[in-house]
A and B are shown apart, each in its own frame.
Chain A
Amino acid sequence: MNESTEDTISTPHDLFGICEALMKRPLALIHELADRDLPRIALWLMAISLVGFAVFGAALGSFAGGDQVWQAPLKVLLAGLGTGVITLPSLFVFTCLSGYEISLRQVAIQMLGMSALTAMLLLGVSPVVWVFAQSTTSVAFFSLLSMTLGLAAFAFGYRLLEKTRRLLGCKPSLYSNLWLAIFAFVSLQMMVSLKPIEIEPKVVAKTAEAAIGR
């Protein structure tokens, strides 16, 4: 990387150290990961992504209950990681088209950092989502809440991606905006096709009963 980060860290070795670094000094952590070959940190970040997406999915699935309790975690996991894998090649090529010298490994690390931070924040909001899943009968309200929290987590993840790109000298360009649009389309389509908040008939009945009761 060309510039030094604003803060330096001693390389964390355990999960809690990495989680803390991801929340407090994400830029320094990704910088460390990109500069030195640290497969252990990469594996931990991947594990954080997997667990974060799965737990958030479980919280979403608890709204509908039934099979969704185990299906929704898989769906959210597939959507989160699938979107990353599908859009990784275009991020690399679009960065090259913007005229910046970057390797596929660096781009993959940036994506991993974005995914881990997003998943970490989703993990953090999962208890809140679960409480609303248990107490809310309105499908519209629950969908809006989940989407808002998901978008907020993604915004932080994307901010980290942009920061790590700036660290490499990559400024925002037409291509990076185009990539963001592609990413948004793919993730929305993932949500539409996988339906992590799939409503089963009994939930619809529950919602209708609640509406009549009012």
Chain B
Amino acid sequence: MNPIRSLSTSLFPWPSLARGDKNFLADWIAEDTVQQRLAFCLASIFIGGGCYGAAIGAWHSLEMAAYVAIKLPLIIVVTFGLNGLINGMIATLVGADLSLRQTWLSILSAFSIFSLVLLSLSPVTLYFTLNLPGPDAPPPAAAKAHQLLLIGHVIVLGLSGIAAMQRLWRLLISKTERPFFLIALWIFSNGFVGAQIAYLFRPIFGTPGLKIAFLRPDAFDGNFYESLLWAMEHCLK
């Protein structure tokens, strides 16, 4: 590798991370550089997640855009923090040759790829968001736009998350005999906890008619899965 390319890879490792280069990833999670990499991953999450969060909140107002730009990266970081121990345990149980710190870095790397994908989709998302009827539009239009945004963002976030975790494949096949199982368990654990953290940090999309707030006063009442069950029962009635 020539020196210029080497420098650009070390300064901007996002493309190499997104490609999931096996050798690059093996160097990336080497024990001696873990702290620098952690800082890079966290910065990536705040930049990428922040831009996408701003695009989500822009539907409501600039205030909401600022709130969600802060909250979306926080949701990722809190999910990572809460799941850190269990993710490490899962890796050990599956027999992966990864230390706890390497497990954290692998997952944080996946989150930073996730944030990169979100960053790249932010202009598209913002454009569509600004073209939809706003929350002040007459009731059926505002409610429909809100539902459309909700479904659209959930699909984008879900698929980006799966694509990001899948990038770890090339690294994990050299670390465990069951990489698919490990990735599936990580996707499940992070998805399960992430959905609840996002629920606690609501409003994310800003229901039309409700006041804008950083957190709802009843933030800790109920959980995502209860609400999902309620919504499903409501639909079936």
Contacts and interface: CB of A to CB of B under 8 A. Distances in A.
Interface of A: 82, 85-87, 89-90, 92-94, 96-97, 99-103, 182, 185-186, 189, 192-193
A145 to B, nearest CB: 26
B7 interface: no
Contacts of A89: 119-123
User: Which secondary structure characterizes the binding site on chain B?
Assistant: helix
Interface string B13-25: 0110011100000
Contacts of B124: 86-87, 90, 182, 185-186
Contact of A189 (B117, B127, B167): B127
A93 B20 contact: no
A86 B131 contact: no
A93 B123 contact: no
Interface of B: 14-15, 18-20, 113, 116-117, 119-124, 127-128, 131, 163, 167
A96 B19 contact: yes
B15 A96 contact: yes
User: Which secondary structure characterizes the binding site on chain A?
Assistant: helix
Contacts of B167: 97
A189 B131 contact: yes
A93 B19 contact: no
A60 B227 CA distance: 50
Contacts of B117: 93, 97
Nearest to B164: A97
A97 B18 contact: yes
A93 B156 CA distance: 14
A192 B132 CA distance: 12
Contacts of A185: 124, 128
Given A86-B123, A87-B124, A90-B121, A96 B18 contact: yes
A102 B8 CA distance: 13
Given A99-B19, A100-B19, A93 B116 contact: yes
